[in-house]
Amino acid sequence: MTHETLGVSKYDILFEPIKIGPKTLRNRFYQVPHCIGAGSDKPGFQAAHRSLKAEGGWAALNTEYCSIHPESDDTHRVSARIWDEGDVRNLAAMTSEIHKYGALAGVELWYGGAHAPCMETRQTARGPSQYASEFESLTYCHEMDHDDIRRVQGFYVEAARRARDAGFDIIYCYGAHSYLPLQFLSKYYNKRTDKYGGSFENRARFWIETLEQMKAAVGSECAIATRFAVDTLIGEDGIEVERDGLKFVELADDLVDLWDVNVGDIAEWGEDAGPSRFYRQGHQLSWQKFVKQASKKVVLGVGRFTDPEKMVEVIRNGELDVIGAARPSIADPFLPEKIRDGRLDDIRTCIGCNVCISRWEIGGPPMICTQNATAGEEFRRGWHPERFPKKGSDDAILVVGAGPSGSECARVLMERGYVVHLVDSAEKIGGYVNEVATLPGLGEWSYHRDYREVQLNKLVKRNRDSQIALGGKKLSVEDVLSYGADKVVIATGAHWVTDGTNCLTHAPIPGLEGTPRANVLTPEDVILGTKPIGKRVMILNADPYYMAPSLAQKLAEAGHQVTVASGVELGRYMHFTLEAPNMHRMLHELHINVLSSTWASRVEDGRIELYNLWGDGHKRVYTGPGKMPRSANTTHAWHEYDTLVLVTARRSEDALFRALKARSGEWDARGIKGVYVIGDAWAPKLIADATFDGQRLAREIEEANPQEPKPYRREAAVYGAPYQPGGSYEIRYQG
């Protein structure tokens, strides 16, 4: 007899309440602090995003890192701030909305030391010793004396009291990712010789005293938490779990109600928020599990936990008490509810691409998610990930293309009750994702396809007038015009070019015009295996994301000798997704030769002429029509290859859309009210943005011109509005 036949779910342990100090978590699902681009200046966004997860079953929802004082300012990025009563008022909107669902609200009090660039406030942070940040540029801290230490500890206490007044239930002293308390504990930062430096006990003193003062101030009303990197992964100079990580847990255990445990430092915090390219679910457990042996308090940890079986396992094994999550809570705010209800195949599983993180790393635009197109749109567009407005007409809609954009559009249209025919000449839903997910380390990106495939098949069974037609011939213009649809959505994707057109010259590379050469391949050729590949491979790259490094890895691991000539910084966007450090290690370990700031002047059969961009001055020197610009101090060198792979640019597959538009005069007679184009067929873009395109058009299909997005609500300080005591302006909503 199973647990289920007894009426007991094997997942019930995940839904047991657990006490943390004076507060009680209603279950073991906990959204740890993570950045969304809201801070304190967009209270509507902050409240809507966090409270929607509370509605979805998460027991606690935290802010992003929250600055306690203007000298800990992370601009250009967006952090929360709790500097004054205006911030208290704005953050109280979040706590109020979260409490409506019986969840707890947490705030992560942050002081950055030299990792706080203070580009807006123009103040200077203080630190245990004076050093230049290895994370920021040209940023030093002021070395604290004892008066400074007491002053900064006072910042924490004042911020804790303001947090309590804003309605927060859990108040963090944030000591992960190399921020201030950890800087005192770590010999890497702390070079002091007084009572706050030297021995372990001295280095721990600042953190212990700060926790004592916070607990004395608010500990009877709020749970005190600390986020602690138990191993910074930099060796003896940093924190090591077996040496000082567990020692600190034992020392501070009586002062905290909750340990939020992770690993890594700020310079490579991808070791914490590990991208799926390099790390699987639960990758931090090797360190986290030891904390339970040293602590009597509640311990939580992150690890991109998406599988309820794994969640149960780590709790039953005594490795963690609570499942911490950031990215899985973004991908599916209703993950706890779906597990509780046994709807596991309805979960939008986080794919670990870290595109959500990339927005914060860039500087704080609203967060986006590849899986969940409604993430970041909860307030400004009023979107809910599980609820959709009912259809506004009886129009039947044809969607051509079942890639990220088309499959999302069809899914949302069907959720709204529309009759939809989704047509693709491919044998499987997924489009471009089906190719990308075969690249090294990117297998989990296929969860994007899997979720939509499962949901579409369910929706078609529910609405038998809708259809999914895969594997047939490509629809012609005449096929579409005579199909019988009231509206048509074109989502035919994009392809990699074969002529070397690129972002540097905006032109083909001489020698590649006309019919493609047999030994010149596109990424699709490599992925699909449509052409033979020789021993010596040259990859010519002008794309800043994952494709060139992924192909280089795939080919090197298959035994090819790989050189990458890149005219842009190789994998530049991977800095924002936290993949870059391990990507560069991979290139080095596989002996892949990288030629930076290098581009091609021409291609001949079996050889390519390369030049250095800076020496050539190709945008400064003009030598006549049809000639490549050159300068005297640059050598254009020929390199031989057996196979050349072009990762230079993508181009929209928009021929069908343009042909339909050219025959718009026939639409009325054929009963067609409109033809629209979305995703890569409009312009090549991130999978996340293509997915967003599909969701947006499906939600706005009744508008007079659905091709043009509706305005969204903006939170802005309006010029001339009355100034509020405490430093905040009255919020007016625009749009």
Enumerate the active-site residues. Answer: 179
Q: Map 71-91 to HEC letters.
A: CCCCCCCCCEECCCHHHHHHH
3-state secondary structure of 527: helix
3-state secondary structure of 45: helix
DSSP symbol at 56: T
What contacts 510, CB < 8 A, 6 or more positions away?
A: 601, 602, 603, 628
What contacts 373, CB < 8 A, 6 or more positions away?
A: 383, 408, 688, 691, 692, 694, 695, 696
Which residues are paired to 244 by β-bridges? none
Which residues are paired to 600 by β-bridges? 610
3-state secondary structure of 363: coil
For residues 143 and 149, give the distance between their C-alpha atoms in angstroms, rounded to a whole number. 10
Pairing of β 258-263 and β 223-231: parallel
For residues 566 and 177, give the distance between their C-alpha atoms in angstroms, rounded to a whole number. 32
For residues 312 and 722, give the distance between their C-alpha atoms in angstroms, rounded to a whole number. 52
For residues 177 and 186, give the distance between their C-alpha atoms in angstroms, rounded to a whole number. 12
DSSP symbol at 132: B
The pair of structure tokens assigned to 349 is: 């599983």
Give Cα separations from 315 to 186, 309, 335, 423 (angstroms).
30, 10, 17, 45
The DSSP line for 398-436 is EEE--SHHHHHHHHHHHHTT-EEEEEESSSSTTTHHHHH
Between vectors from CA 78 to CA 69 and to CA 545, what angle results, nearest 5°?
145
3-state secondary structure of 323: strand
Q: Map 241-292 to HEC letters.
A: HHHHHHHHHHHHHHHCCEEEEEECCCCCHHHCCCCCCCCCCCCCHHHHCCHH
Q: Report the Cα–Cα distance between both ends of the chain, in Å, rounded.
A: 58
